[in-house]
Chains A and B, each alone.
Chain A
Amino acid sequence: MHFNLLEKKSYLVLSGFLILGLSACGGERTTPEPIVAAAPEVESALSFENQATAGADSYATNCAACHGANLEGSTLGPLLSGFSFIQRWGTQTPALLLGNIQSNMPPGGNENISDEDFLSIVAHILSVNGVDSISNALTASSDFEIADNISRIIAQRQRPEPPAPQGLTVAGNTEEFVEFIPLTQEMLRDPDPADWPMHRRNFYGHSYSPLDQINTENVKNLSLEWVWNMHEGDSEPAPLVYNGIIYLINPGNVIQALDAESGELIWEHWTGPANRQDMRNIAMYDDKIIQATTDARLVALDARTGEQVWETVVADNTKGFANSSGPIVADGKVIQGLAGCARYIPEDCYISAYDADNGELLWQFVTIAKVGELGGDTWGGLDNIFRAGGETWITGSYDPDLNLTYWGTAQQKPWVPVSRHMTIFDVGLYTNATVAVDTESGVLDWYFQHVPAEALDLDEVFERVLVNRGDDKFVYSIGKHGILWKNDRVTGEFRGFQETVFQNAFTHIDPETGAVTYREDIQNAQLNEWTSACPSSAGGKDWHSMTYHPPSGLIVAPLSQTCLENAAREVALVQGGGGLAASRKFFEMPGTNGNLGKVGAYHADTLEEVWSFQQRASLHTGTISTGGDLVFVGDLDRRFKAFDVNSGDVLWETRLGTSVQGHPVSFAVNGKQYIAVTAALGGTSPRTVPGVIATEITYPRWGNAIYVFSLPDE
């Protein structure tokens, strides 16, 4: 729909909510009316105020579905108002905001939105955010600093909420429940079967618990032991369990310690910022819980009491840097990734390491090769400032014998080569690769770029699973292409691949080298040209981690079957610009009968698919396996299921309060085995894409919680 600026009646109605937040825009404003207000109708349409009013309508049509009617955000898109938005955009100009929005929003395509509409939408966003001291309509070159035009009164009105809690909100001490024993490197290297002391349980990322009390025979009797409701917001939690205590990351950077047996809360710490954003996982070392925050800080809490011990800044959040995953602690070094690196700024993404005792920076490994550096000639001659991407938004794994930490890197940004002002031959090191980094020095030991010059928002960033088969040491990964990659983890050498879901991005994958050849139309995709490909950006696999089950040698992965149409958008090479810059549409993967969810089991030696299970509902947890020969996984349709790891038969299932999302864990207290899983909302594209394809699946939009199951006592 194209909005006519002269149709005043309609926008008066549509913008009713705007008056609440912005009464200075009403009739009784005391500041002198701008001269244009007295001019004829067409002229008056060109004031900032009228532009903003018109923008409210375009916003409602094109943006509100994801960003909320009042810019408050939803599970489909971040908030565009208030303190955190102004913190990010306040120092920028309207022109830059406009450029970013035009390049990136709405994600589905912008064919029906005129340049004029985009300008008025920006005026609306600024207006709701309290920009009140300008009168002239915005133009594409308006270059004032946004925050300079927000009066204090209006700015305060943007934050009517009471201040969020900060620090300890519930005080307690785990020692009232159990004696505290510091968690050492040796204990992390070979975790006690009763514990799940790190994300994916061991350094190798196996997501495997050797506990076997719950097995294929008795899993049918699994029953609920207790439930604990978590804070609301986006959430993909990976709880830790150590010595009978569950450490639980909640949305909004809140950590809780719970007694694992009784579900009793021991302490709660609000590290902030108190948003609704997602943090997947935390780490534990010695007597500390180590937490990455969504605003790119690292904070250590006393594991006994939740009191803060140290804090350090990983990267400057006001420049867009952020985190959604936490660290791995390798021999006392807290190793942390970084996300939010799509902007054209001098700073790039890095993996960094800190001393677990005090948070002191030890090293940084920058994932983007700069001009003059090794690999620096793979960026099509772009200036350093325009080299973006290479996020490490999923926690790496670690080989204590080789002293290497293994991470996946995300692709270059923007998403399509033509938007990057690059070609399919500008591979952009070290993006979309496995990087093996020395844990002592932070120096790159080897890299293997799985998909160079990535062109469809299919990053190869997810967990690296380390497996020893005989004398061979391998690293396995599955990126969004759904290709299971096997590499030698000593040398990085390619050792094989398996397509776990249908893909048509590549016409050839070299069986000797693993080199991929993109389909020709993907290689040559031009601006605003639709390209159709499978899987979609929700990934053949996404952030939900896979498991390695040592007794059977099987890798069992949670997979997803959707496809996309993608069209690149133009991105200007201007400092502060950048972004993702594509329009996308989504559809069912052909030949899957509408089954979005797939659990696939692959043998680590042959990579052959041993079994698979498909269902309509997409999967929203990682898979875990156990010594009882079980695999657990949860889905959008609120189901939590147990499979026989050898046959793929479903042996047990139950239904929870809302979509089952996060990373299940298994642990034992006083000799009794438990299975815990979270129900949660949010979770980015693995939720939004099924949200437009499997629209019949409904679930409550609240209900984050942890559920703990066990066998009934004899």
Chain B
Amino acid sequence: MKLGRKSSLFVLISTLLFSTITQAQEVFRARLSPMPTTPQTVATILGEGEVILTLNGNSLNVEGSFEGMSSAATGAHIHNGPPALPGPVIHALEVTQATGGSVVGELTLTEEQVEALHNNEFYIQIHSESNPPGELRGWVFLRSHFDN
């Protein structure tokens, strides 16, 4: 099954109608959920979050929140990898150094990165003191993908 690239037109049109910004703007979303886990680690890889990413031309605004991690966040990044496939870091994000808080960033993307974003090849990952390889993670899709 193809993961959503539909309804970008709808977002585009509604953005044009309801915003004063004349430039095309697209809204993306990531749901953050625990990194891969097992019955043995299920009590130590915790939390949940949501990140909204707004693309204006090449600039990407990232604003999100998270809560309930097992220990304080130590860092957050945007990575490049297709759905469910880990990949390299491409941008660091600012993250509250606590078990919950906000994750934000203001980035400029290359052409390739804009394309990767449209191909669902971005994911956001938050690392924590007790889970240095990452505690929360979520792939980025057009927000409309989650509408059904």
Complex contact A532–B141 (CB within 8 A): no
- Chain A contact patch, size range: 35 or more
Seen from chain A, the residues whose Cβ lies within 8 Å of a Cβ on chain B are: 62, 65-66, 76, 106-109, 482, 499-504, 532-534, 563-565, 584-591, 593-594, 612, 614, 688, 691-693, 695
Complex contact A504–B84 (CB within 8 A): yes
CB of B118 closer than 8 Å to a CB of A: no
Complex contact B120–A591 (CB within 8 A): yes
B86, chain A: closest CB distance, angstroms: 6
Within the assembled complex, what's the spacing in Å between the Cα atoms of A585 and B145? 26
Among A482, A534, A693, contact of B84 (Cβ-Cβ < 8 Å):
A534
Complex contact A501–B1 (CB within 8 A): yes
> Which residue of chain A is the closest to B123 with respect to CB atoms?
A590
Complex contact A504–B83 (CB within 8 A): yes
CB of B35 closer than 8 Å to a CB of A: yes
A198, chain B: closest CB distance, angstroms: 32
14 other A-B residue contacts (CB within 8 Å) besides A62-B40, A503-B1, A594-B31: A65-B39, A499-B1, A500-B1, A501-B1, A504-B83, A532-B36, A585-B38, A587-B35, A587-B36, A588-B33, A588-B34, A590-B120, A590-B123, A590-B141
> Which residue of chain A is the closest to B146 with respect to CB atoms?
A593
Within the assembled complex, what's the spacing in Å between the Cα atoms of A500 and B1? 6
CB of B3 closer than 8 Å to a CB of A: yes
Complex contact A65–B83 (CB within 8 A): no
Complex A-B, nearest 7 residue pairs according to Cβ-Cβ distance, in ascending order: A108-B38, A585-B36, A590-B139, A590-B83, A499-B1, A692-B42, A591-B3
Among B39, B86, B145, contact of A108 (Cβ-Cβ < 8 Å):
B39
Complex contact A591–B145 (CB within 8 A): yes
> Which residue of chain A is the closest to B120 with respect to CB atoms?
A591
**A590-B123, A591-B139, A593-B31 given; A504·B82 CB < 8 A:** yes
B-side interface mostly: loop
Q: Which residues of A contact B83 (CB under 8 A)?
A: 502, 504, 534, 590-591
B147, chain A: closest CB distance, angstroms: 10
Within the assembled complex, what's the spacing in Å between the Cα atoms of A591 and B5? 11
Within the assembled complex, what's the spacing in Å between the Cα atoms of A503 and B1? 7
Within the assembled complex, what's the spacing in Å between the Cα atoms of A594 and B83? 14
B16, chain A: closest CB distance, angstroms: 26
> Which residue of chain B is the closest to A566 with respect to CB atoms?
B36
Complex contact A584–B38 (CB within 8 A): yes
Complex contact B40–A106 (CB within 8 A): yes
Complex contact B84–A590 (CB within 8 A): yes
Complex contact A692–B39 (CB within 8 A): yes
Chain B 105-148 against A: per-residue CB contact (8 Å), 1 yes, 0 no?
00000000000000010010000000000000111010001101
Q: From B33, B38, B82, name the one whose CB has the most chain A CB atoms within 10 angstroms.
A: B38
Chain B 83-107 against A: per-residue CB contact (8 Å), 1 yes, 0 no?
1111000000000000000000000
Q: Which residues of B contact A691 (CB under 8 A)?
A: 39, 42
Q: Which residues of B contact A587 (CB under 8 A)?
A: 33-37, 84, 137
Chain B 1-18 against A: per-residue CB contact (8 Å), 1 yes, 0 no?
101100000000000000
Within the assembled complex, what's the spacing in Å between the Cα atoms of A469 and B72? 59
A160, chain B: closest CB distance, angstroms: 28
Within the assembled complex, what's the spacing in Å between the Cα atoms of A534 and B145? 18
Within the assembled complex, what's the spacing in Å between the Cα atoms of A107 and B36? 13
Within 8 A of A (CB), among B26-80: 31, 33-42
Within the assembled complex, what's the spacing in Å between the Cα atoms of A695 and B84? 20
B89, chain A: closest CB distance, angstroms: 17
> Which residue of chain B is the closest to A500 with respect to CB atoms?
B1
> Which residue of chain A is the closest to B42 with respect to CB atoms?
A692
Q: Which residues of A contact B123 (CB under 8 A)?
A: 590
Within the assembled complex, what's the spacing in Å between the Cα atoms of A594 and B86? 18
Q: Which residues of A contact B146 (CB under 8 A)?
A: 591, 593
Q: Which residues of A contact B141 (CB under 8 A)?
A: 590-591
B83, chain A: closest CB distance, angstroms: 4
Within the assembled complex, what's the spacing in Å between the Cα atoms of A534 and B1? 11
Within the assembled complex, what's the spacing in Å between the Cα atoms of A692 and B120? 25
> Which residue of chain B is the closest to A691 with respect to CB atoms?
B39
Q: Which residues of A contact B33 (CB under 8 A)?
A: 587-588, 594, 693
A699, chain B: closest CB distance, angstroms: 16
Within the assembled complex, what's the spacing in Å between the Cα atoms of A688 and B120? 28
A433, chain B: closest CB distance, angstroms: 23
Complex contact A692–B84 (CB within 8 A): no
Within the assembled complex, what's the spacing in Å between the Cα atoms of A503 and B85? 12
Within the assembled complex, what's the spacing in Å between the Cα atoms of A532 and B139? 14
B10, chain A: closest CB distance, angstroms: 17
A528, chain B: closest CB distance, angstroms: 15
Within the assembled complex, what's the spacing in Å between the Cα atoms of A502 and B139? 13
Q: Which residues of B contact A106 (CB under 8 A)?
A: 38, 40
Q: From B33, B86, B146, name the one whose CB has the most chain A CB atoms within 10 angstroms.
A: B33
Q: Which residues of B contact A501 (CB under 8 A)?
A: 1
List 14 contacting pairs A-B, 8 Å CB cutoff, sorted by A. A65-B39, A106-B40, A108-B40, A502-B1, A504-B83, A504-B84, A564-B36, A586-B37, A587-B34, A588-B34, A593-B146, A688-B39, A693-B33, A693-B34
Complex contact A533–B84 (CB within 8 A): yes
**A590-B83, A591-B120 given; A692·B38 CB < 8 A:** yes
Q: Which residues of B contact A593 (CB under 8 A)?
A: 31, 146
Complex contact B37–A692 (CB within 8 A): yes
Complex contact A614–B148 (CB within 8 A): yes
Q: Which residues of A contact B1 (CB under 8 A)?
A: 482, 499-503
Within the assembled complex, what's the spacing in Å between the Cα atoms of A588 and B83? 11
Within the assembled complex, what's the spacing in Å between the Cα atoms of A586 and B42? 10
> Which residue of chain B is the closest to A614 with respect to CB atoms?
B148
Q: Which residues of B contact A532 (CB under 8 A)?
A: 36, 84-86
A650, chain B: closest CB distance, angstroms: 14
Q: From A503, A584, A593, name the one whose CB has the most chain B CB atoms within 10 angstroms.
A: A593
> Which residue of chain B is the closest to A587 with respect to CB atoms?
B36
Complex contact B38–A107 (CB within 8 A): yes
> Which residue of chain A is the closest to B36 with respect to CB atoms?
A585
Within the assembled complex, what's the spacing in Å between the Cα atoms of A65 and B37? 14
Within the assembled complex, what's the spacing in Å between the Cα atoms of A586 and B35? 8
Within the assembled complex, what's the spacing in Å between the Cα atoms of A182 and B137? 59
Q: Which residues of A contact B84 (CB under 8 A)?
A: 502, 504, 532-534, 563, 587, 589-590
Complex contact A590–B3 (CB within 8 A): yes
Q: Which residues of B contact A563 (CB under 8 A)?
A: 84
A295, chain B: closest CB distance, angstroms: 27
Complex contact A695–B120 (CB within 8 A): no
Among B31, B36, B42, contact of A565 (Cβ-Cβ < 8 Å):
B36
Within the assembled complex, what's the spacing in Å between the Cα atoms of A502 and B1? 5
A499, chain B: closest CB distance, angstroms: 4
Q: Which residues of B contact A66 (CB under 8 A)?
A: 39
Complex contact A585–B37 (CB within 8 A): yes
Within the assembled complex, what's the spacing in Å between the Cα atoms of A482 and B137? 24
> Which residue of chain A is the closest to B39 with respect to CB atoms?
A65
B13, chain A: closest CB distance, angstroms: 23
B134, chain A: closest CB distance, angstroms: 11
Q: Which residues of A contact B35 (CB under 8 A)?
A: 587
Complex contact B85–A504 (CB within 8 A): yes
Within the assembled complex, what's the spacing in Å between the Cα atoms of A501 and B3? 9
Within the assembled complex, what's the spacing in Å between the Cα atoms of A499 and B2? 8
Q: Which residues of A contact B36 (CB under 8 A)?
A: 532, 564-565, 585-587
> Which residue of chain B is the closest to A483 with respect to CB atoms?
B1
Q: Which residues of B contact A591 (CB under 8 A)?
A: 3-4, 83, 120, 139, 141, 145-146
Within the assembled complex, what's the spacing in Å between the Cα atoms of A565 and B148? 27
Within the assembled complex, what's the spacing in Å between the Cα atoms of A114 and B118? 45
B133, chain A: closest CB distance, angstroms: 11
